[in-house]
Chains A and B, each alone.
Chain A
Amino acid sequence: MKLKNTWRKTFGEQQRFMLMLIAPAVTLLILFQAVPIFVGGSASFRDWMLYNPKKTWVGFSQYASVLTDPAFLQIVLPNTFVFMFSSVAISLVIGLALALTLNRPFRGQKLVQTILLMPLMVAPVIAAIMVRWMFNDEFGIVNVVLEALGGEGQPWLVQRWSAFSVIVLTDVWLWTPWFTLLLLAGLQSLPKEPFEAAAIDGTTAWRVFRYLTLPMLRPVIIVCIVIRSIDAFRTFDTVWALTGGGPARETELLSIYAYENAFVFLDFAKGSAAAIIGALIILVVGLALYRILDHVRKMS
C-alpha cells in the first residue's frame, strides 16, 4: 500500500502510463542485455582468464593493453571503418535503386521483389560458408565462370583487396534487401500530389528524384544509415565463417579481434575491453553521423 502511494506521488498519471508501457521491454532489456553487459564490462576491469578467473581488479590496464596494441590501432580499427563505410554505402545505393525500381508497377513486380528479398531468408552463417566455397580458387564457381569467359581466376581469399571485397560483397548481399524493404516502404508512404504535379510539368526523372524523392525520403535514409552502420561495425559471424580475419589479419574486424582474444586466447577481460572500446566508438560515431546527416538535411 505504502509502495503504491509512493509510486503515485512520485509520478504523475501520464508518467505512470509511460512507465507501464515500457515496463516489460525494460525488464527484459535489463535482465538479458544490461546485466550481461554489466558483467562483461566489469570483467574488462579485472584479471579474468577463462581457465583461471581470478577476478582481481586491475583498473584500466586491459584497456591500456588494447589501446597500445599496434594491431588494434593500425589494422583492426581501419579495417572496421573501411568495412562499415563500404558495406553501408554500397548497400544503400543498390538498395535505393532497387526500391525505386520496385516502387512502380511492372509485370512480374512481385516475383522480382520476392527474389530480391532472398538473402533475408538464409542464415548468414550458411551464406558465409557458401560464399567461401564459391570464391575458392580451385572449385569455386566464380573462377570457373571467369575462366570460361576468358578472364583469369584469382586466389580470392589470399589477397588483401580481394578478400576484403569478398567480405564486403557478402555483407552487401545480405543487407541490401533490408535497405530495399525500408526504403520501399518509405517511398510508398510519400504523398502523391507533388509527384503528380511534377508529371504534369514534364519534369525529368532525374530532377524528380533529386528534388522531390530524395529530400522527402531523407529521414528514412538517415535512420537506415545509422542503424546499419552500428550493425556493420559489430559484424562478426559472417566474416568469422568466411575468412576468420585472414589472410594474416587482413580482414580482421573489431568483433573478430574481441572474439579471438576472449574465446580463442581465452582472455575474457581483454576481449571485453576491446568490445567496449568498440561500443564507445560506434556510439559516438553513430550520434555524429546522425547529427551530420540531419544537419545536411536541414541545410538543403
Chain B
Amino acid sequence: MNTLQRRFFDFFAPGARRISFGLALSVVCFLFAFPVLWLILTSLRPQSGVYYVYRGLDFTLDSFAQVFANERLVRAFFNSSVIATAATIFSILVTVSSGYMLSRFRGPIASGWFGAIYALRCVPFVTWVLPLYFVEQRWGLYDSYLGLLLPHIAVHICFFSWLMKGFFDGIDPSMEQAALIDGCTRWGAFLRVAVPSAMPAISALAVLSWLFSWNEFLFALILTGQHTPVITVVMAQFVSEMGMQWNLMAATAVLALVPAFLLTLFGQKYVIRGLKI
C-alpha cells in the first residue's frame, strides 16, 4: 500500500486498519491457544465426556481431585521440578563457559569443539537412548536423579553452547582485554566481566532450559523407574493397553502447564532480551 492509498483509506475508514490488524491478530492468537484451551476444557469434563467434549455441558473438578490424591503424581511433580531446576542450573554453568570459548577463540580446539557439538546434535535419539540405559545400568545411575539429570544437561550443551556463542559474539571483547591489561587473569576477565554482561542471555537460556527439561519425555521414559517418576512419564502411563484415562491425563497436563505458564509469563522479557545469535 503506498502513502496515497493509505491516506485515502485512513480518510474514509479511520481506524479500519487498526481494527483489521487487531482482528487478524486475535484469530492467530486463538489458533495458537486453541489446543491448550481445548485441553483445559477436556480436563474439566467428566470421564464419559472427554472425547465428545462438545456434547453435553456437565463439568467437574473431579479429575483434578483424583490427581491430587495420587501420591505418585504428587511425587512426580516434585521430581520434575527438582530435575528441571537442577538441569537448568548445571546446563547454564557448563554452557556459559563453553559458549564463551567458542566465541572468543579460534584455532583447532575451538573448531574441533564446534564440529563435535554439531555432529552430536545430528544423531537421532533412537541410536543412543537405549545404549544410555545400558551404560547407566552399568554405572549404577539408572533410575536416580543424577541418571536423568546428567543426560538432560548433555542434551542442552549442543544447542545452548551455540546460542551462548552467538550472544558473546555480540558483546565487545574490548572490556575483557582492558581487564586483562589491568592485571586480571583470564578467569577473572571471564567471570567478572564477560559473565555479568551475559546475564540477559543466561536468563533467556534458563527459561528455555527449564521448559525443555520440564516437558522432556523420551529420556525420562527410558531412564526412570520406581524412584524417579517424572510428570511426563506418569502422564503417559495413563495410556495403557487396557484403556486410557484421558481425563486424568488432561488434568495432569493442565497442572503441569501452570508452572510453565508462570515461568513464560514472567520470563519472556528476559528471553527476548537475551536470545541473540
Interface of A with B (CB < 8 Å)?
Answer: 13-15, 17-19, 21-22, 24-26, 28-29, 31-41, 43, 98, 101, 106, 110, 112-127, 129-131, 133-134, 136, 139, 141, 144, 173, 176-177, 181-182, 184-186, 188-189, 202, 204, 219-220, 223-224, 227, 230, 234, 236-237, 254-255, 258-259, 262-263, 268, 271-272, 275-276, 278-279, 282-283, 286
Contact of A31 with B150 in the complex, beta carbons under 8 Å: yes
Q: Which single member of A127, A141, A202, A236 contacts B53 (CB below 8 Å)?
A: A141
Cβ contacts A to B, 6 pairs, < 8 Å:
A36-B131, A124-B215, A126-B232, A184-B272, A185-B271, A186-B277
Contact of B166 with A223 in the complex, beta carbons under 8 Å: yes
Contacts of B53 in A (CB 8 A): 139, 141
Contact of B32 with A118 in the complex, beta carbons under 8 Å: yes
Q: Mark B117-156, 1 if CB is under 8 A from A, else 0.
A: 1111111111111111011000000000000001101110
Main secondary structure of the interface of B (DSSP, over half): helix
Contacts of A136 in B (CB 8 A): 51
B36 within 8 A of A: yes
CA distance A251 to B136 in the complex (A): 33
- Of B8-16, B61-69, B105-113, the one touching chain A: B105-113
B106 vs chain A, min Cβ distance (A): 10
Interface of B with A (CB < 8 Å)?
Answer: 1-3, 21, 25, 28-29, 32-33, 35-36, 38-39, 42, 51-54, 93-95, 97-98, 100-101, 105, 107, 109-110, 113, 116-132, 134-135, 150-151, 153-155, 157-159, 161-162, 166, 170, 186-187, 190, 204, 211, 214-215, 217-218, 231-232, 235-236, 239, 246, 249, 253, 256-257, 260-261, 264-265, 268, 271-277
Given the interface pairs A24-B97, A39-B131, A123-B215, the reply to whether A114 lies near B264 with Cβ below 8 Å is yes
Contacts of B217 in A (CB 8 A): 123-125, 237
Contact of B277 with A223 in the complex, beta carbons under 8 Å: yes
Given the interface pairs A115-B33, A134-B35, A185-B275, the reply to whether A25 lies near B131 with Cβ below 8 Å is no
Contact of B127 with A40 in the complex, beta carbons under 8 Å: yes
CA distance A24 to B260 in the complex (A): 28
B39 vs chain A, min Cβ distance (A): 6
Contact of B101 with A18 in the complex, beta carbons under 8 Å: yes
CA distance A202 to B127 in the complex (A): 55
Contacts of B274 in A (CB 8 A): 185
Q: Which residue of B lies closest to A115 (CB)?
A: B29
Contact of A25 with B124 in the complex, beta carbons under 8 Å: no
16 other contacts beyond A22-B101, A29-B117, A123-B256, with CB at 8 A cut-off?
Answer: A21-B97, A22-B109, A32-B153, A37-B128, A121-B257, A122-B260, A125-B235, A133-B42, A136-B51, A185-B275, A189-B170, A224-B277, A227-B159, A230-B122, A254-B124, A283-B118
Contacts of A14 in B (CB 8 A): 105, 186
Contacts of A40 in B (CB 8 A): 127-128, 130-131
